[in-house]
Amino acid sequence: MEIDDNMMQVDDGIDEISPMTLGHYYQNLFPHALYYKWLNYNGKLATTEFTHREFSFTIKDGIYLRYQSFKDSEEFQRELSRLSPSKIDIGAIFTAPPKHAKSLQPGVFKPVSKELVFDIDMTDYDEIRTCCQGGDICAKCWRFMTVAMHVVDRALREDFGFTKIMWAYSGRRGVHCWVCDERARKLDDAGRKAVAGYLSLIRGGAEQGKKVNLTQRSAQHPHIVRSLEIVEEYFEDVLLVDQEILLTRDRWTKVLNALPDEELRKTMDAQWSKRPDRSSVDKWSELIDAVDKRAAKKGSKFGLNTFERDIMLQMTYPRLDENVTTHVNHLLKSPFCIHPKTGRVCTPIAADQFDSFDPFAVPTLAQLLREVNEAPSQSGSIAKSTSMAPYIGVFEDFVSTVLPTPVNSQPSLDF
């Protein structure tokens, strides 16, 4: 195993994240060749897909460098090693190399394309999850990300016909999605907004009781029907067992506030207050029985007979950061950078591993450096001799799909 410099002996944790340790990572473990092949999209010779791409680096003392661009893979690799950024963001492809932005006439420098991206952050589930809050996550609440990936991935593939999709762990508390089909990359802001709107279902702030409002017709849309099937598969285990959303009065009040029948809300609240120690599974069963009886008594009053469907979607359906998706020039954290808070690598997630992916098994920078120190000398890829290997494999499989596609081989997206 050949290493550019002597590797440092380090322990797990985040204290070791420094320009020196990051420099070792970028020199020896970052998958430069695959990364370049991905963002260049067309062979070994640099194209404007890469040379006109904006990168931003966060370096020592929090200095933020925007409009970085590189003429080829070698220059990119040299600058990564020299600057050792604690964070890399990927931006749009512009009409000119972004490093020349300040010297260009106004109106000349414009974004022209970028991957269609999605950002799903666990903090947007804070009003629902009971196990953690803020930047903290655990195995229980991570399952919200599992559901989100299933729902969004199937919609992108089945409803839009996209195939070149990469999911990535953010390194701390969420996931990112990169849609790399040429049609997706060429979407303007209006097209991206339309896709984001299509996938967004939750509307309203934390104080609003009911956040899913479907018409009879929209509820029959294939995307909603399919999403509900996915949600139903996970709802009991995630919301009722893991999160116990009906365990205490402050929790069940949030659910009852979405119930469009004040009398029934009071009845269920009084009933559960008498026996608050009953499980959320039992309380949910009682609630749905009561709702069904009430709906039958009141006829087809809209809102009551759809309560079960709507609350399941409200509690489980993906919560997208639409601002990340809707603007071509919005930057998003790069795969394979190191999260500064956790020290974990931002790793790809294979589509067949949504359920098995464990964010706590993702290697940290300290762990990787120790593995390199302890590994016997050998030729070949250093990264593939560490716990990065399976994630490099996922990335390699994805990059192999990123090939030029004939313009007329896919249906157009007109919004």
Enzyme catalytic residues = 54, 119, 121
* Torsion over CA: 101, 346, 123, 222 (sign): positive
Residue with tokens 């009879």: 216
Length of the chain: 415
- Residue 96: other Cβ atoms inside 10 A: 16
**b/e sequence 264-298, b meaning 16+ C-beta within 10 Å:** bbeebeeebeeeeeeebeebbebbeebbeebbeee
| Tokens coding 232 | 């139903």
Q: How far is 173 from 169, CA to CA, in rounded Å?
A: 8
- Cα diameter, the chain: 76
- Residue 385: other Cβ atoms inside 10 A: 16
* Torsion over CA: 84, 85, 89, 92 (sign): negative
The distance in angstroms from the start CA to the end CA of the chain is 52
| Tokens coding 96 | 């000119």
> If you write DSSP's letter for every residue of 195-255 in order, what string do you get?
HHHHH----S-TT-S------TTGGGSHHHHHHHHHHHHHHIIIIIIIS-TTSSHHHHHHH
